[in-house]
């Protein structure tokens, strides 16, 4: 237990008498599954396949400020797997987090929200997808490759500015 009141977290993030952290900082206050869907429409036939499935994956990130000074981040991951023309599984996960950010210049907040915050959420979302595919009967479970959120952010900014988006190497694009 601490001497600080958890209700004061948003308005008074630093205990009385303590110095605020120097430089940029953020805290993950909570994480949650906002929406989740797993479909295995051809089971058990989809569990018996040869070769490597074709994977179609999408990644979306959204950030929203709140009246209490906190930020909500949504990381949406969509995965469709097929073997030939037969669907194997489809997953949609909307995983969120509530963040407190301080000591960051106004011009850098968007990068924190759309690069650093999703980077902290991703391992937990990855585990949910791996567990769902394992529970769905797929062995080995589907493991998402690490995502380069900085490259995704840069591609998104280029697309918004009308420039052609350059691929960020292997991995998903933006939806």
DSSP 96-148: EEEEEEES--HHHHHHIIIIIHHHHHHHHHHHHHHHHHHHTT-SSPP-PPP--
- The 10s digit of each residue's pLDDT in 85-121 is 888 899 999 999 999 988 888 888 888 999 999 999 9
Residue 9 maps to a domain: no
- Kindly report the CATH number assigned to the domain that includes residue 144: 3.10.420.10
Residue 8 maps to a domain: no
Residue 115 maps to a domain: yes
pLDDT at 16: 54
pLDDT at 18: 53
Question: For residue 74, what are the CA distances in angstroms to 31, 64, 99, 106?
Answer: 10, 9, 11, 20
Residue 48 maps to a domain: yes
Q: Where is average pLDDT lowest: 49-58, 99-108, 159-168?
A: 159-168
pTM across the whole model:
0.74
Domain housing 113: 22-160
High-pLDDT (> 70) share of the chain, %: 78
CB atoms within 10 A of CB 109: 16
Residue 14 maps to a domain: no
Number of domains the chain is built from:
1
pLDDT at 76: 96
Residue 59 maps to a domain: yes
pLDDT at 117: 93
Q: Is 77 exposed, middle or buried (0-12, 13-18, 19+ CB in 10 A)?
A: buried
Task: Report whether pLDDT(159) > 70.
Answer: yes
Residue 16 maps to a domain: no
Residue 61 maps to a domain: yes
């Amino acid at each position: 237990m601490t001497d600080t009141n958890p209700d004061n977290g948003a308005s008074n993030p630093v205990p009385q008498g303590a110095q605020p952290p120097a430089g940029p900082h953020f805290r993950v206050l909570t994480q949650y599954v906002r929406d989740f869907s797993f479909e295995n429409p051809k089971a058990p036939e989809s569990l018996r396949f040869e070769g490597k499935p074709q994977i179609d994956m999408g990644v979306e990130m959204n950030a929203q400020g709140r009246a209490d000074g906190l930020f909500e981040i949504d990381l949406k991951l969509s995965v469709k797997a097929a073997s030939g023309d037969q669907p194997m599984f489809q997953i949609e996960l909307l995983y969120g987090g509530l963040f407190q950010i301080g000591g960051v210049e106004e011009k850098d907040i968007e990068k924190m929200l759309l690069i650093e915050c999703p980077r902290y959420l991703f391992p937990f979302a990855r585990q949910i997808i791996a567990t769902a595919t394992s529970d769905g009967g797929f062995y080995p479970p589907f493991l998402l490759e690490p995502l380069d959120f900085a490259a995704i952010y840069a591609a998104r900014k280029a697309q918004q500015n009308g420039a052609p988006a350059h691929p960020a190497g292997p991995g998903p694009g933006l939806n």
